[in-house]
Chains A and B, each alone.
Chain A
Amino acid sequence: MLDPQIVFAALLNGLTQGAVYALVALGLTLIYGVLHIINFAHGALLMAALYGVFFLNARFGVDPYAALPVMVPAMFALGYGLQRFVIGRARHGRDENVLLVTLGLAIVLENAALAAFKSDTRTIETAYTFSTVNVAGAMIAVPKAVAFLGAVAAAALMLLLVSRTDLGRAIRAVAKEPQGARLVGIDVEHVFAVSFGIGLACLGAAACFLLPAYYVNPQVGNGFVLIAITIVVLGGMGSFAGALAGGLIVGVIESLGGLWLGESLGQIGIFLAFIGILLFRPQGLFGASVGKSGRA
């Protein structure tokens, strides 16, 4: 039996890690919910955002948190352009095409990073990288605590955006019924692109919160894709509250799994939970539609 203090620390650690996972997954779930595509380039785009934050820091001395107002709009613009001019045009009404294009984009981004920056793993050092705060007796690294609060704030902002604004109403209309939305005068292509842009803006924010306590290399995104997909399914595809809760749950499972099963085998907990959810509750914890088949 482990010391409850250690278990508590692992639990907090999992929650903070899970919050960043949730932020990555929020972008993915929005894109899935509106466009009904699984964005396989999501991890590669997170990697690109992490390099963005890294170079802003290394070249211009911009603090990772101060990079937020640059990275979030930049990633939004990138996402808008990608959907409008590449993914949307390549779709031709077939979902397999989207799969191929996002896979192709991931290959391009990962290898462009490899060609430009080599496979070195880079980290940044800030004044607060090694500071900790004491939460009820457990020591938590400051960057992780900030990441937790930032991710929760970002999730809340997105929830407000989608539920309270005209843009959010248009996004929900397009998600539910693109044909009908077009008939009432909504520019569906624009809303698709905006949704994709917001999805990537989440990655921009995640990168700013992640880098102070993490690292970047050309493959860094791979680990996140599968975890983000797991969270999206766990929370119910397209559900924001589900993505947030799912992210926290996955973070805790990973942290506790690592504590009991060791670093290598610990990750298995996530995927067993994933398979269990898919088999017994495929609509996810917060999903509404039961038994409705999704599209690949």
Chain B
Amino acid sequence: MRELAGIAAFALAAALLPAFVTSGFALNLAIMVLYSTLLGQAWNLLAGFGGQYSFGHALFFGTGAYAAAALQVHLGWNAWLALPAAVACGAASGVLVGALSFRYGLRGSYFALVTLAFAEVFRILANSVAFTGGGVGLLLPLEESAAAMQFAGKPGFLYLILALVLAGFLLCWWLKRSRFGAWLAAVRDNEESAAALGVDVFRVKLAAIAMSAALMAAGGVFYVQYFHYIDPHLAYGPAVSVEALLGPIVGGLGTVFGPLLGAAVLQALGELTRNLAGDVPGASLVAYGVALVAMVMFLPRGVAGLLARRGA
């Protein structure tokens, strides 16, 4: 119940933000933190709660993004209709990868690598077929209205991403207290024992990857609506997969708030290094990388570990 209260407090604080902050810069930063939280929560659901480490979450992100963009550009769908359809496509891609790799019993690094390879296959396909616009990508027609999910101001986007993040939070909260969540935790901790106790390991893992992929696809839809553009590298490139896994690992794996904490720390770090490093290309990312390495060396259990130690 304490976690539910925490989620409610966070939602209230984020929802009230536009009433007090009007700077576009600050609101954009808040939106990017929430967006990064959504990707992190998607990855955390499968890795932190299910023990399946994926290096190719871009696959689900890109599928959601391309589905949303293509439905609007090629078929003229409304964005609000395209959102659930794209989320369903993302979940389907999760089920496809999950069914193949779990059926053959892939675990650990092997599962991580097969997801990476699937993301690459989709990147190459997206680069080569006309439906996705090839290397040129897809440009969303500009239509600034809430009905087209292209809000006139930042607050609209803030509420949209907040709603998606809340869905992710509630899903994780539910996992912590439901029977399904207990099965998933059992599979994470010891697959053989879980199977011996009658847990349908394959089904449980498949459901987990479908949920994770659905959240990730929602992130992809948001990306398209916010930036109006998607290309194969943005959609299926390794950068998205890395962003999805960095946050929860830094913030605390398998916790409800870890992805939020990690996203906030990493965004703040990125912002700080950008300001300190000035205009030299790459310099800010050097500082970011150094800070990341230093953080792992000196805070081995993530930021959440530091907080837990202080609290104890």
Contacts and interface: CB of A to CB of B under 8 A. Distances in A.
Interface of A: 38, 86, 89-90, 92, 94, 96-97, 99-101, 103-108, 110-115, 118-119, 218, 222, 226, 229-230, 233, 237, 262, 264-265, 267-268, 271-272, 274-275, 278-280, 282, 291, 293-296
Contacts of B268: none
A237 B127 CA distance: 30
B282 A101 contact: no
B242 A103 contact: yes
13 contacts: A90-B297, A104-B296, A107-B285, A108-B290, A115-B280, A115-B281, A222-B238, A267-B124, A268-B121, A274-B113, A278-B106, A296-B108, A296-B112
B121 A97 contact: no
A279 B99 CA distance: 11
A111 B290 CA distance: 11
A114 B281 contact: yes
Contacts of B289: 104-108, 111
A226 B296 contact: no
Contacts of B238: 222
B249 A96 contact: yes
A278 B124 contact: no
A268 B124 CA distance: 6
Contacts of A100: 246, 249-250, 292-293, 296
Contact of A94 (B100, B127, B292, B300): B300
B86 interface: no
B107 A293 contact: yes
B108 A111 contact: no
B107 A278 contact: no
Interface string B86-123: 00000000000000110011111110111011101100
A267 B123 CA distance: 11
Contacts of B286: 107-108, 111-112, 115
Contact of A268 (B125, B245, B293): B125
Contacts of B66: none
B125 A104 contact: no
B128 A264 contact: yes
Please provide the 10 A-B residue pairs with the shortest distance between their CB atoms, ordered closest to farther: A114-B282, A107-B289, A92-B300, A111-B282, A108-B289, A294-B109, A104-B292, A111-B285, A115-B282, A293-B107
Contacts of B245: 99
Contact of A274 (B112, B117, B301): B117
Contact of B293 (A86, A226, A291): A86
A118 B280 CA distance: 9
Contacts, number: 138
B253 interface: yes
Contacts of A229: 113, 116
A280 B105 CA distance: 10
The contact size tier of chain B is: 35 or more
Contacts of A230: 117
Given A100-B296, A107-B292, A108-B286, A265 B124 contact: yes
A274 to B, nearest CB: 5
Nearest to A114: B282
Nearest to B300: A92
Interface string B276-296: 000011111110111011001
B303 to A, nearest CB: 12
B267 to A, nearest CB: 15
Contacts of A115: 280-283, 286
A83 to B, nearest CB: 13
Given A271-B117, A274-B117, A294-B110, A105 B128 contact: no
A90 B108 contact: no
B110 A282 contact: yes
B296 A90 contact: yes
Given A86-B293, A111-B286, A118 B105 contact: no
Contacts of B53: 296
A278 B113 contact: yes
A103 B104 contact: no
A262 to B, nearest CB: 8
B100 to A, nearest CB: 6
Contacts of B121: 268, 271-272, 275
Interface in B215-241: 238
Contacts of B297: 86, 89-90, 101
B116 to A, nearest CB: 7
A99 B249 CA distance: 10
A280 B293 CA distance: 36
Contacts of A97: 296, 300
Interface string B248-269: 0110010000000000000000
A265 B296 contact: no
Given A115-B280, A278-B114, 5 more contacts: A90-B296, A104-B293, A105-B289, A268-B121, A275-B121
A132 to B, nearest CB: 30
Contacts of B106: 278-279, 282
A80 B52 CA distance: 31
Contacts of B284: 111
Contacts of B281: 114-115, 118-119
Nearest to A107: B289
A105 B101 contact: no
A130 to B, nearest CB: 30
